[in-house]
Amino acid sequence: MAGSKGKVCLAYSGGLDTSTILAWLLEQGYSVVLGCRREEGSVAIPSPTLAIDEDETQRSRINFGIAVSPLTKYMRHTALQIGAEKASRVRRGALLEGRPVRTYYSPRSRRQFPRLTVQQNAIYEDQYLLGTSLARPIIARGQMKAAAATGCQFVSHGCTGKGNDQIRFEFAFYTINPEIKVIAPWRDPTFYNRFQGRNDLLDYAAEKGIPVTSTKAKPYSMDDNFAHCSYEAGMLEDPNVTPPEDMWTRTVSPLKAPDTPLDITIHFSKGLPVKVVTPSKTVTDSVELFGLLNDLGKEHGVGRVDIVENRFIGLKSRGCYDSPGMTILRLAHISLEGLVLDGRVRALRDNLSKQWSELLYNGYYFSPEREFLQPSLDHAQLRVNGEVRLRLYKGHAYCLGRTSPEKLYSEEDASMDSLTTFDPSETSGFVTINAIRLKKYGLQKAEAGEKF
Amino acid sequence: MAGSKGKVCLAYSGGLDTSTILAWLLEQGYSVVLGCRREEGSVAIPSPTLAIDEDETQRSRINFGIAVSPLTKYMRHTALQIGAEKASRVRRGALLEGRPVRTYYSPRSRRQFPRLTVQQNAIYEDQYLLGTSLARPIIARGQMKAAAATGCQFVSHGCTGKGNDQIRFEFAFYTINPEIKVIAPWRDPTFYNRFQGRNDLLDYAAEKGIPVTSTKAKPYSMDDNFAHCSYEAGMLEDPNVTPPEDMWTRTVSPLKAPDTPLDITIHFSKGLPVKVVTPSKTVTDSVELFGLLNDLGKEHGVGRVDIVENRFIGLKSRGCYDSPGMTILRLAHISLEGLVLDGRVRALRDNLSKQWSELLYNGYYFSPEREFLQPSLDHAQLRVNGEVRLRLYKGHAYCLGRTSPEKLYSEEDASMDSLTTFDPSETSGFVTINAIRLKKYGLQKAEAGEKF
Amino acid sequence: MAGSKGKVCLAYSGGLDTSTILAWLLEQGYSVVLGCRREEGSVAIPSPTLAIDEDETQRSRINFGIAVSPLTKYMRHTALQIGAEKASRVRRGALLEGRPVRTYYSPRSRRQFPRLTVQQNAIYEDQYLLGTSLARPIIARGQMKAAAATGCQFVSHGCTGKGNDQIRFEFAFYTINPEIKVIAPWRDPTFYNRFQGRNDLLDYAAEKGIPVTSTKAKPYSMDDNFAHCSYEAGMLEDPNVTPPEDMWTRTVSPLKAPDTPLDITIHFSKGLPVKVVTPSKTVTDSVELFGLLNDLGKEHGVGRVDIVENRFIGLKSRGCYDSPGMTILRLAHISLEGLVLDGRVRALRDNLSKQWSELLYNGYYFSPEREFLQPSLDHAQLRVNGEVRLRLYKGHAYCLGRTSPEKLYSEEDASMDSLTTFDPSETSGFVTINAIRLKKYGLQKAEAGEKF
Amino acid sequence: MAGSKGKVCLAYSGGLDTSTILAWLLEQGYSVVLGCRREEGSVAIPSPTLAIDEDETQRSRINFGIAVSPLTKYMRHTALQIGAEKASRVRRGALLEGRPVRTYYSPRSRRQFPRLTVQQNAIYEDQYLLGTSLARPIIARGQMKAAAATGCQFVSHGCTGKGNDQIRFEFAFYTINPEIKVIAPWRDPTFYNRFQGRNDLLDYAAEKGIPVTSTKAKPYSMDDNFAHCSYEAGMLEDPNVTPPEDMWTRTVSPLKAPDTPLDITIHFSKGLPVKVVTPSKTVTDSVELFGLLNDLGKEHGVGRVDIVENRFIGLKSRGCYDSPGMTILRLAHISLEGLVLDGRVRALRDNLSKQWSELLYNGYYFSPEREFLQPSLDHAQLRVNGEVRLRLYKGHAYCLGRTSPEKLYSEEDASMDSLTTFDPSETSGFVTINAIRLKKYGLQKAEAGEKF
């Protein structure tokens, strides 16, 4: 009987899977709170980088529309069909107690993540910009807020049992509330043995009165958010199959991109993008800025990646991603860091960035080890100030130049023609002393009769 | 008096700088052996990766024409003008004793290096493919062979005192022969104070009868070899100046590249490229193969990089590089590794690759630490077998698919639809156990009143 | 009915736990092969470091008597009581088919492991010398040989569900035979809910006719092998309780150690100990050698460690260890490496050693990532040749001196008094060039008004 | 003529070497300010870890008496003999202008360093506790304050040209004031060719009226400070010579240590020792506390190390160190960290500690890379609170137990007997999922016919 087993907060998208899960949870005797994205308003989430970010208003606007969808009319309708007594854009306090299904909107503010990944030059296995990885902990945090506000003992999601996302969600759940119980239907034999294919789901939908828009299933699965869109599974499981051109939703084909390149300038403050200038406009609002780069990248076909990656659970998986804005920002950020970061700081930082990226990928955003790495990573960005000029053209971005108020780079010093700040004879000692070890090694090899 | 101070092997290009140095060394009382690149023939150099490379004939053909030029008619003429008694394509044994200047040809075989950097995914500061870095130890080794064969007590080069190359050369010199003495004129005050600009060199050339072709000086310096061409200094010292379009010699402008993409396939064996298939031909010879990728990359404008990098001596420097073949090979190699390398091996290997790359950049190719890293890096390549399909189009290369006889990737396993090889309920335990630590952390934060 | 479910190879110690498991497996319908340690004879196990070890006869003798006990008369009696039709020291071929219980002896050769950990300076969390960790993969390999030889579909062990050992065993099982099925009774609710305490086990023993020697239970658990003895659980779970003096079995109390120190010499070849010289004898056999160091260390109270460590599953655990031989060998090996390893090789190697140690601790000895690290680690030992003089005295070992035929260390070079091989003025250039970056940093700080 | 070349701040010990340098600098035409340690008073130096240290009064008392000696009567006399017009314990403002020699006292506050190295578990090449390395940047900072206050254009020191200290000093000099000029007499041929041995120095002393106490030269050199005493050179250059028993000044021989062990307790707050309790007293003042541990360690012979280490310049060098207090504190700190640090934080932190230690050893305390590492290292100490019980006995320290208000360790969780907080069946999933990769590897090996 609905509610007898306790209350579940379900991350709800309104689609066939989560609608089925909703009906199934009710059938199992749970009452359900739907976690959806709130469309309006904004909730402040404490930023892990506040300490170095004086301009919080600046950073507080990037909003990632992630897989958990906003509550639409259709979703409300669906929920009512399935058994919800009421489903509306209520505020937290308006949630009615005692009903088996209620809706809840997770906070919309996902501001710091994409920028954090840009600041860290975060990348996984040389190519993946972590667009999905960064969304998961934010959704999970929102869902846990909803669960807490509505007194849920359980949280649930529609992730499969083979992927990374289940882990990313659940690590965040358990960290945020170690007492929470997780219901993962796609790992529960009573669920997955009952629903073995799309037809089982459709039959159940018909039985339960779940309205299904008969869209033709894509031959792959997608996950879209403000940062990127990912594609995997289905036909993509053969790593030698080239993705169909119409798969990519966030980038036009480079072959169809404009014949004229576009030159833009991106300004950074403490490693964060704060202004984008194009021939036709200038934006400084962080949401607008990221949206603009997504639009420009899309138009010029920038940001497609096709990789076979290593999932946390040890399986290999082929994923395709288009991340136009992130790709452009990464190039810009790296180009500026070349100018302003000390060389050895960069080398050490790159090690930490790699570890940070692996943690994010594996679902450890909320973890003591990520928290441990953050202060030094943040410190490295304090002087990443300046601007980078870029060209976008048919699938690729190019750095055209960069400038900064920071003074680590000196034309005078770097110049091969100038000796005013540099006495080249000093380098002899540098070479000789560093070669002390090498000479020993050379003698050792010679004595052993080994050749170079 | 010529010869009284001993014998020097000079890395000789025939240009204004090294011709001046040649004349100056004679003037200082040295006799000189010119180290040049031999045009014909081939000298076997023991490969550091022989142990894992069964097909030595395959690998033994890549020949890097590096900065040290082959002895041309012009160079011979120049040398004779300057004071050489004889300068001809002599074999080692034919070198005449007792003359102040002799010519010597360094071996032409520079086969293993570009492939080694491909095998290691070697890259410096996220962007530079190390085209110059890999050439230096090979030239140095050849020059030291020449020096040994001709009984030189000294070696000399024309590198500036601010760059990386002087260090790369000299570390190799000292390792190969710890007794060798180095003459670095551009670090010697008696030389650099006397020749303070191009005019001083031209005056000296006139005085010494050095023939100078009056080519207009480029507003930047270049260094070209089989792997890439680099550009730096001069107008490029302002990191915000966009390089002039006509600077790039190894890639056409992406804007002028063909409107039709080119799809090719690259085959790898143990991490080394062994076959390239294009719509019109198939090549397997390693030199041809690399040359072909350079040509195709050039035609499609693939491989331009513009960075500010951190030199070993601590200066920052702006460098531009076009490396068409290397860029294509790197993408292909990474794409194949995704399919065939175990995930944790890859993570560990990437750390070693980064260290290997820094060693190569800093001139430590011949060093105990590079030698230490090599066996594990080589081991990781044993199963990097398969082929990668790529598209080249207007400045960028794309992976279209990859396949391999190795079986680490399994469609069956990866498939979201298949549960035959996988029991998803197991993942619950994986999550729960990994979350033990995280729950403790969550409790700790809660107790301290800290929020996520 | 016995045997109807298939055949299980059980790691059998003859104690209450594994005897209970044996009876329970029979009760569940399995037939059982007992994996025990063979007392006599020796089975060759291919060494992972053969490539660098020319003296296989030398290394092939160290024999670790690990937790899996030799088949004793008592064990045979017990097995017969429980239901074995026959239990004797049979050879593989003599195993009788069709009986529910058979005995099998796992190979006794555990030679390479302790030496491998010495070669790698392996240590976990600064203190634990990995004595248990190294034994587990060897036992597991032996058990899998037994399982394969007797056609078992299952393997079983008596490890608890909270420890590291279950993981170390099972990772090895699954790697060696991915088809094997594991029965872990202490993780099976039908088992652990039935046997909730020692009394339940005793009752079951009485019921099944399992002979139990009524030894008083220790207030902690122990695990003893040739490398060390570990103590944990029970009273040790309070990390502030000092272990009772009579707990330590492998070391006398430092307070009771001889008043006279003992000076010994250990000789190494390629990082492996090959000779130990004491005032009274010289041993070169590897088993004798290690045994002698254990004896000497025990007598002088060397090698006690008491730590709180981090288990792989995320729990913290307090462990006490006494590892006399390993402690002495580690000090000797490190002391020699200081003399003969290049400094940068050592720094890089230390990173790999740390990763290697974590892999061993976490049960990944048989893994692609451990295999990846091995070649470089082995390479680093090629020149670790020489001898180290040590003093043992009341709980501690001291290095008194070391010498080597390798020539990386030079008294002439190191001497502050000698300038014959060194021109100190060169160091000025070394400092100046390395300070280029630092001066920039200093200027940056000064400009920002920050002080040192 | 004295003063015509400018003003030098010389780090002055009053011994033969620096007295000779003082006279020589005057002879060369410099005026000299003597940098000595001030005996009384205290100067606040901003702590790099202030952010995490709320109890500044607590930390602000540790005072390291380092190699630069306090100005003694004898030193004043010596300086006057050599040519000083006045040498007295003046305050900064009292320094008289226009005299060729003046004295200056470097600040006495060296508080944060030993504690920093304890907090970081800093250690070099597994054994050296960095007692000299940590003193150098503090002295250098003090000397630069003296130089700035007295308008010196130069600084000078008596370090040899082969050691680490010259580099540690000069890196700090150049970072703190990039314009400073360094005079390093032992790297200046005009100096070291003139003074080739002790006799040359004695002759010069006689000539210049430098008073020399005819102490018999030790057969090794020593460097003593509050943290430790180091011994090197001379007879110690043979790495097989056992140091003479009377060499060690900071520890009694373990053979002569008391027959009765001493048990003490050390309390930590945020990784810093804040209280030491012995049977006879309790100290909380940081200077007293460290001094007490030095005394207790000395009495019980704890903290002797004898190693061959790798100097930054590439030479190997044999060093002996006795660091009683540091040795005890390191064991205590590590023992507490086991109890309170998250396991993965510890693994990541240990990597950073190793890099931090290498930076300190190589003279990079004041550097952007050390500054980069600090915030994360500091963060890791926030919860290192608790107390550790230790036993000191005849050369060694033992951990007897530890306790903490932090709750990462749980007896309930760790207990093998308790299942209330843990469901052991979960571990099966953990093992199975982690084994996915391993099974693939096993299959691959089997297919290739390779055995484990």
Q: Residues of B with CB below 8 A from A163's CB?
A: 416
Residue C122 · residue C360 · CB < 8 Å: yes
User: Which tens digit of pLDDT belongs to each residue from D17-57?
Assistant: 888 998 899 899 998 888 765 433 222 222 222 112 222 22
D424 and C186 within 8 Å at the Cβ level: the answer is yes
DSSP helix/strand/coil, C136: helix
Chain A residues 262-291 within an 8 A CB cutoff of chain B = none
- D429 in contact with B, Cβ within 8 Å: yes
DSSP secondary structure letter of residue B287: H
C403 and D242 within 8 Å at the Cβ level: the answer is no
Write down the pLDDT at residue A105: 44
| Backbone phi and psi for residue A49, each to the nearest 5 degrees, phi listed first | -115, 20
- Name the burial class of residue B214, with classes exposed (0-12), middle (13-18) and buried (19+) by CB atoms within 10 angstroms of its CB: exposed
Q: Which residues of C are catalytic?
A: 17, 136, 165, 221
Banded pLDDT at D284 (limits 50, 70, 90): very high
Q: Which of B52-56, D76-80, D353-357 has maximum average pLDDT? A: D353-357
DSSP secondary structure letter of residue A305: E
Smallest Cβ distance to B368: which of C314, C315, C345? C345
Measure B414 CA to nearest chain A CA, in Å. Answer: 6
B437 and A177 within 8 Å at the Cβ level: the answer is no
Residue of C nearest to D442 (CA): C175
Write down the pLDDT at residue D12: 78
Size of chain D, expressed as the number of residues it contains: 452
Measure A275 CA to nearest chain C CA, in Å. Answer: 24
- C178 in contact with A, Cβ within 8 Å: no
Write down the pLDDT at residue C365: 93
Rg of the Cα atoms in chain B: 26
Retrieve residue B131's tokens. Answer: 């085209």
Measure the CA–CA gap between C216 and C219, rounded to whole angstroms: 9
D376 and A376 within 8 Å at the Cβ level: the answer is yes
User: Which tens digit of pLDDT belongs to each residue from D406-427?
Assistant: 988 887 777 766 666 678 888 9
pLDDT in tens, chain C (452 residues): 556 899 998 887 777 888 899 889 989 999 888 776 543 322 222 222 211 222 222 222 222 322 233 445 555 666 666 665 444 333 332 232 334 555 554 433 445 556 678 999 999 999 999 999 988 888 888 888 888 888 899 999 999 888 999 999 999 999 999 999 999 999 999 999 999 878 888 899 888 877 766 556 678 888 888 889 999 999 999 999 999 999 999 999 999 999 999 999 999 999 999 999 999 999 998 888 999 999 999 999 999 999 999 999 999 999 999 999 999 999 999 999 999 999 999 999 999 999 999 999 999 999 999 999 999 999 999 999 999 999 999 999 999 999 999 988 887 777 766 666 678 888 999 999 999 999 999 998 898 888 88
B345 and C433 within 8 Å at the Cβ level: the answer is no
- D300 in contact with C, Cβ within 8 Å: no
Measure D102 CA to nearest chain C CA, in Å. Answer: 25
Q: Residues of B with CB below 8 A from D426's CB?
A: 428-429, 432-433
Measure the CA–CA gap between B121 and B333, rounded to whole angstroms: 7
User: Which tens digit of pLDDT belongs to each residue from D215-266?
Assistant: 666 788 888 888 889 999 999 999 999 999 999 999 999 999 999 999 999 9
**Neighbour order of strands in the sheet with C101-106:** C101-106, C30-37, C6-11, C154-156, C181-183
User: Which tens digit of pLDDT belongs to each residue from B205-234?
Assistant: 888 877 766 556 678 888 888 889 999 999
A80-85, long-range: CB within 8 Å, 24+ apart, which pairs? A81/A209, A81/A210, A81/A211, A82/A19, A82/A22, A82/A23, A82/A26, A82/A208, A82/A209, A82/A210, A83/A2, A83/A22, A83/A23, A83/A26, A84/A34
E-strand stretches of C193-335: 221-224, 229-232, 262-269, 272-277, 282-283, 304-310, 316-322
A372 and D348 within 8 Å at the Cβ level: the answer is yes
- A342 in contact with D, Cβ within 8 Å: yes
Write down the pLDDT at residue B197: 80
- C343 in contact with B, Cβ within 8 Å: no
Rg of the Cα atoms in chain A: 26
Banded pLDDT at A22 (limits 50, 70, 90): confident
Rg of the Cα atoms in chain C: 26
Write down the pLDDT at residue A211: 72
Q: Which residues of A are catalytic?
A: 17, 136, 165, 221
The rounded percent of chain A whose pLDDT value lies above 90 is: 55
Does position D352 have pLDDT exceeding 80, yes or no?
Answer: yes
Residue of C nearest to B370 (CA): C345
Q: Residues of B with CB below 8 A from D433's CB?
A: 426-427, 429-430
A231-236, long-range: CB within 8 Å, 24+ apart, which pairs? A231/A319, A231/A320, A231/A321, A232/A317, A232/A318, A232/A319, A232/A320, A232/B416, A233/B415, A233/B416, A233/B417, A236/A318, A236/A319, A236/A320
Average pLDDT, chain D: 82
Residue of B nearest to C368 (CA): B345
Write down the pLDDT at residue B113: 56
Q: Which domains does chain C have, with CATH numbers?
A: 6-109+131-217 (3.40.50.620), 229-341+383-403 (3.90.1260.10), 411-447 (no CATH)
C440 and A344 within 8 Å at the Cβ level: the answer is no
B375 and C373 within 8 Å at the Cβ level: the answer is no
Does position A25 have pLDDT exceeding 70, yes or no?
Answer: yes
User: Can you tell me the mean pLDDT for A195-199?
Assistant: 85
Would you give the distance in Å from CA B50 to the centre of its chain? 19
The rounded percent of chain B whose pLDDT value lies above 70 is: 79
Residue of C nearest to D197 (CA): C417
Chain B residues 304-333 within an 8 A CB cutoff of chain C = 313-315
Does position A89 have pLDDT exceeding 90, yes or no?
Answer: no
A373 and D378 within 8 Å at the Cβ level: the answer is no
E-strand stretches of A95-171: 101-106, 154-156
A416 and B452 within 8 Å at the Cβ level: the answer is no
Write down the pLDDT at residue C202: 87
User: Which tens digit of pLDDT belongs to each residue from A235-291?
Assistant: 999 999 999 999 999 999 999 999 999 999 999 999 999 999 999 999 998 888 999
User: Which tens digit of pLDDT belongs to each residue from B356-389?
Assistant: 999 999 999 999 999 999 999 999 999 999 999 9
Write down the pLDDT at residue C89: 36
Measure the CA–CA gap between D305 and D227, rounded to whole angstroms: 14
Residue of D nearest to B434 (CA): D430
Retrieve residue B63's tokens. Answer: 């020949």
Residue of B nearest to C347 (CA): B369
Smallest Cβ distance to D344: which of A351, A369, A378? A369
Q: Which residues of D are catalytic?
A: 17, 136, 165, 221
Q: Which residue has the higher pLDDT, C166 or A196?
A: C166
Mutate to test the interface with B, among C344, C374, C432 (most CBs of B within 10 A): C344
Write down the pLDDT at residue D350: 97
DSSP per-residue string spanning C15-33: SHHHHHHHHHHHHHTEEEE
Tell me, letter by letter, the H, E, C secondary structure of chain D: CCCCCEEEEEECCCCHHHHHHHHHHHHHCEEEEEEEECCCCCCCCCCCCHHHCCCHHHHCCCCCCCCCCECCHHHHHHHHHHCCCCCCCCCHHHCCCCCCEEEEEECCCCCHHHHHHHHCCCCECCCECCHHHHHHHHHHHHHHHHHHHCCCCEEECCCCCCCCHHHHHHHHHHHHCCCCEEECHHHCHHHHCCCCCHHHHHHHHHHHCCCCCCCCCCCCEEEECCCCEEEECHHHHCCCCCCCHHHCCCCCCHHHCCCCCEEEEEEEECCEEEEEECCCCEECCHHHHHHHHHHHHHHCCCCEEEEEEECCCCCEEEEEEECHHHHHHHHHHHHHHHHHCCHHHHHHHHHHHHHHHHHHHCCCCCCHHHHHHHHHHHHHCCCCCEEEEEEEECCEEEEEEEECCCCCCCHHHHCCCCCCCCCCCHHHHHHHHHHHHHHHHHHHHHHCCCCC
Smallest Cβ distance to B379: which of C349, C375, C440? C375
Mutate to test the interface with A, among C408, C410, C426 (most CBs of A within 10 A): C426
Write down the pLDDT at residue A215: 60
Subunits close to B (at least 3 CB pairs below 8 A):
A, C, D
- Name the burial class of residue D256, with classes exposed (0-12), middle (13-18) and buried (19+) by CB atoms within 10 angstroms of its CB: exposed
User: Which tens digit of pLDDT belongs to each residue from B179-190?
Assistant: 999 999 999 999
Q: Which residues of B are catalytic?
A: 17, 136, 165, 221
Q: Residues of D with CB below 8 A from A377's CB?
A: 376
Checking phi first, is residue C125 left (phi over 0); if not, alpha (psi -120 to 50) or beta?
left
Write down the pLDDT at residue C199: 84
DSSP secondary structure letter of residue C83: T
Smallest Cβ distance to C428: which of D184, D304, D344? D184
Write down the pLDDT at residue B136: 87
Q: How many CA atoms lie within 13 A of B112 on its CB side?
A: 19
Chain B residues 366-425 within an 8 A CB cutoff of chain D = 383, 406-408, 410, 413, 422-423, 425
- D435 in contact with B, Cβ within 8 Å: no
Measure C342 CA to nearest chain D CA, in Å. Answer: 8
Closest CA to A267 of A385, A381, A379: A385
Residue D40 · residue D15 · CB < 8 Å: no
D343 and B430 within 8 Å at the Cβ level: the answer is no
DSSP helix/strand/coil, A156: strand
Average pLDDT, chain A: 82
Amino acid making up residue C417 = D
Tell me, letter by letter, the H, E, C secondary structure of C275-313: EEECCCCEECCHHHHHHHHHHHHHHHCCCEEEEEEECCC
User: Can you tell me the mean pLDDT for A51-59?
Assistant: 24
Measure the CA–CA gap between D333 and D402, rounded to whole angstroms: 10
Closest CA to D35 of D1, D77, D66: D66
Lowest mean pLDDT among B152-161, B347-356, C109-118: C109-118
Tell me, letter by letter, the H, E, C secondary structure of B173-225: HHHHCCCCEEECHHHCHHHHCCCCCHHHHHHHHHHHCCCCCCCCCCCCEEEEC
Work out whether strand D154-156 and strand D101-106 pair parallel, antiparallel, or are unpaired.
unpaired
Q: Residues of D with CB below 8 A from B423's CB?
A: 432
Rg of the Cα atoms in chain D: 26
Banded pLDDT at D168 (limits 50, 70, 90): very high
Smallest Cβ distance to A407: which of C407, C410, C443? C443
Write down the pLDDT at residue B2: 55
Continuous segment of H or E residues that includes residue A260? none
Measure the CA–CA gap between C201 and C214, rounded to whole angstroms: 13
Residue A307 · residue A318 · CB < 8 Å: yes
What is the 3-state composition of chain A as percent helix, strand, coil, each rounded to the nearest 5? 40, 20, 40
Write down the pLDDT at residue C52: 20
Smallest Cβ distance to A372: which of D345, D374, D440? D345
Q: Residues of B with CB below 8 A from C352's CB?
A: 376
Measure the CA–CA gap between A419 and C432, rounded to whole angstroms: 15
Residue B84 · residue B103 · CB < 8 Å: yes
Smallest Cβ distance to D429: which of B407, B408, B426? B426
Banded pLDDT at B288 (limits 50, 70, 90): confident
Write down the pLDDT at residue A50: 17
Closest CA to A332 of A368, A289, A369, A373: A289
* Full-model pTM: 0.90
Measure D355 CA to nearest chain B CA, in Å. Answer: 14
- B198 in contact with D, Cβ within 8 Å: no
Smallest Cβ distance to D46: which of C254, C255, C451? C451
Write down the pLDDT at residue B385: 97
DSSP helix/strand/coil, C402: strand
B429 and D434 within 8 Å at the Cβ level: the answer is no
